[in-house]
Structure 1
Amino acid sequence: MSQFTLLFASILGALAVIFGAFGAHAFKKILNEEQLKSFETGVKYQMYHALVLLLIGFNFNLETTVEKYMVYSFIIGVILFSFSIYGLVISSAKNKKLTFLGPITPLGGLLLVCGWCLLFYNVLYI
C-alpha cells in the first residue's frame, strides 16, 4: 500500500507542476483572471495533497482499514476536486461549460476533509 500511495503522490505532484505551468503560461491567454484563480486553486490543492500522500507513504505502514481509507479519500478527493475545477474552467473558457462537473467539486472537497479527519483519527488512536 505504501508503494501505491507513493506512486499516486508522484503522479499527482508531477501533474500539478505541469498544470501549473499551463496555467501560468498557455492558459493565461485564454482564461480571464477569475478562471485563472480557480485553476490555480485546483493546482494548489492537488500539490498540497500530493505532498501529504508522500508523507503518509513514507511514515505509515498503511495496513489498517483506517489508513487505507485515508489514502483513498485523499486520492479520490484530489481527482474529483482538482480535475473537476480544471474541467469547469477550461470548458467555461471555450463557452461550453460542463455544468455536471459543478456538484463533483464539493464532493471531492468532502473526501479531502474525510482524509484529514481519518489522518487525525489515525494519529490519535492508532
Structure 2
Amino acid sequence: MKLFLLLAIINGFVAVALGAFGAHGLEGKISEKAIKTWEKAVNYQMFHTMALFVVGLLMSKVTGGNFAGAGWAFFIGILLFSGSLYIYSVSGIKTFAVITPLGGVSFLVGWVLLGYAVVKYL
C-alpha cells in the first residue's frame, strides 16, 4: 500500500518536472513531432500516476484483493511506455519506439486487474 503511494508521489513529481523540461528545455532543440511525443509520454505518465495513487488508497481500505498486480502493471507501463517515448523523443532511435507498445499492454493489464479487483472485493 505505502509502496504504491510513494511510487505515485515520485512519478507525479517526475512527470511535472519532465513536462516542464519538455516545454522549456527542449523547445527549439528537438522537432515539433518529438515535442508532441514527449508530451504524450508526460500525459500517460501522469494518468497512470493517478492510477497508482488509487491503487495505494484502495489497498489501505480494502482487505484482500489483488490490487498490487494492477499497481505493478501500471508502474511497469510507465517505465516502458513513457520511458521509451522520452528516450525516443530526444534520441530518434526507433528501437525505443518498438518498446512503447509493451508499456501500452502493461497499462491495459493494469486496468483489467484493477477492474477485476474492484468488482470482486468492493
Aligned residues: 120
Gaps of at least 5 residues in structure 1 are none
Contact 2:80 2:99 in 1 (8 A): yes
> Match of 2:79?
79
Amino acid at match of 1:85: L
Any idea what SS the aligned residue of 2:14 has? helix
Q: Give the drift of 1:63.
A: 6.5
What TM-score do you get using the length of structure 2 for normalisation?
Answer: 0.91
| 1:123 is aligned to 2:118 | yes
What TM-score do you get using the length of structure 1 for normalisation?
Answer: 0.88
Any idea what SS the aligned residue of 1:29 has? coil
Matches within 5 A, 1:1-126: 2-61=1-60, 64=64, 66-92=66-92, 97=93, 99-126=94-121
RMSD: 1.5
Distance 1:79 1:64 in 2: 27
Distance 1:22 1:71 in 2: 27
